[in-house]
Chain A
Amino acid sequence: MKISKYSFFCLAVALALLVSGCATTQERLLDSDGSQVQIRSIQTRAFDTTDREKTLRTVMATLQDLGFVIDQADNLLGTVTATKLNKYALRITVSIRPRGETQTLVRANCQYEDKPVYDPEPYQQFFASLEKAMFLSALQVD
């Protein structure tokens, strides 16, 4: 059986496409496919408050409103981790830190099933809910 040039081309492209879905352990471990700056800007907002405890408590209450169960919270480190189970598993870690004299930075990162979430939309929705609970605007950080 002779394979024509066209068939050979098709098979080569198909193989390349399938292989492109696989990643090395280094790429998986360090999720090195996203830009650090861009990811931070998607995942971070600033709030005009310096009340650390209130911010963390509001984050926890918002996560509960969104159907998460809190797995971990640390006041000293300023982090909260939670899981939502709703046929799927969604895990989120929210961390806060002071920014200048008057602001607090809130950052969230999500994992959906076994993948990181880089889509801006879920983060926008999260911060929209947090804004309402904080009675403060979530400010975009450049």
Chain B
Amino acid sequence: MKKICSLILLSAFILAGCQTKIPKEALELSPQSLEMRQLQTRYFDTADEQTLLVSSAGLLQDLGFNIDESETELGFILGTKDRDAKNAGQIVGAIFLAALTGAYMPTDDHQKMKACVVTHPAGENNERIAARVTFQRIVWNTQGQISTRECITEPEIYQEFFSKLSKAVFLEANEI
């Protein structure tokens, strides 16, 4: 009895001390931050920040995002969209697992995707405008639990985004 009670006391001490803490590097500049900035930023030879913002908003709409927030005075737009996140490979895997072991494994179901565009004047005389886009997504599984929370870093995505932004700037300039 004494032993059991001592054990309970010990585990209570451990549980009371167990708290999830913020990771040390969460607010520290990572060595990759410069590389990410370059990937996520393009410069446009215009001094007209507003037009670039309007083009960015148009592009976000082209890509199916709804504009949630914006502050034109600071050069900021946020768009979000809800999309399907079902993954054929994952589902096949889950079916095999269920057939073999009878265990049910939840698979990805839907996701919320966020795109944020921030513009700012650049160059010595502010003769250029920089646009930086960042993407994030949250994925929920078939049981409604969050399965993934991440920042999207694939270079191809950013390249496609900016090639489309250049096109949007052109379309906007020609009022198409």
In this assembly, does B8 line the interface, its C-beta being within 8 Å of a C-beta of chain A?
A: yes
Main secondary structure on chain B at its contact with chain A?
mixed
Binds A, one of B23-31, B81-89, B96-104, B156-164: B23-31
- Whether B26 and A64, one on each chain, are in contact in the complex, defined by CB atoms closer than 8 angstroms, is no
- Whether A85 and B78, one on each chain, are in contact in the complex, defined by CB atoms closer than 8 angstroms, is no
Residue numbers in B under 8 Å from A84 (CB-CB): 26, 151
In this assembly, does B176 line the interface, its C-beta being within 8 Å of a C-beta of chain A?
A: no
Residue numbers in A under 8 Å from B37 (CB-CB): 64-65
A interface, size bucket: 35 or more
Among the listed A15, A70, A83, A122, which residue makes an inter-chain contact with B76, where contact means beta carbons less than 8 Å apart? A70
Report A49 CB to chain B, min CB distance, Å. 16
Using A10-B6, A86-B149, A90-B22 as known contacts, say yes or no to A71 and B27 having CB atoms under 8 A apart: no
What 1/0 mask marks residues of chain B from 10 to 45 whose CB sits below 8 Å from any chain A CB?
011101100111111011111001001100100000
Among the listed B15, B118, B149, which residue makes an inter-chain contact with A61, where contact means beta carbons less than 8 Å apart? B118
- Whether B149 and A66, one on each chain, are in contact in the complex, defined by CB atoms closer than 8 angstroms, is no
Residue numbers in A under 8 Å from B76 (CB-CB): 60, 70, 73
Residue numbers in A under 8 Å from B26 (CB-CB): 84, 86, 88, 90, 112, 122
What 1/0 mask marks residues of chain B from 114 to 152 whose CB sits below 8 Å from any chain A CB?
101010100000000000101111100000000001110
- Whether B134 and A85, one on each chain, are in contact in the complex, defined by CB atoms closer than 8 angstroms, is no
In this assembly, does A99 line the interface, its C-beta being within 8 Å of a C-beta of chain B?
A: no
- Can you report 25 residue pairs joining A to B where beta carbons are below 8 Å apart? A4-B1, A7-B1, A7-B5, A14-B5, A14-B8, A15-B12, A17-B16, A18-B16, A53-B74, A56-B74, A60-B120, A65-B36, A66-B27, A66-B29, A67-B33, A67-B36, A69-B78, A73-B69, A85-B137, A85-B151, A86-B150, A88-B149, A112-B20, A112-B21, A129-B27
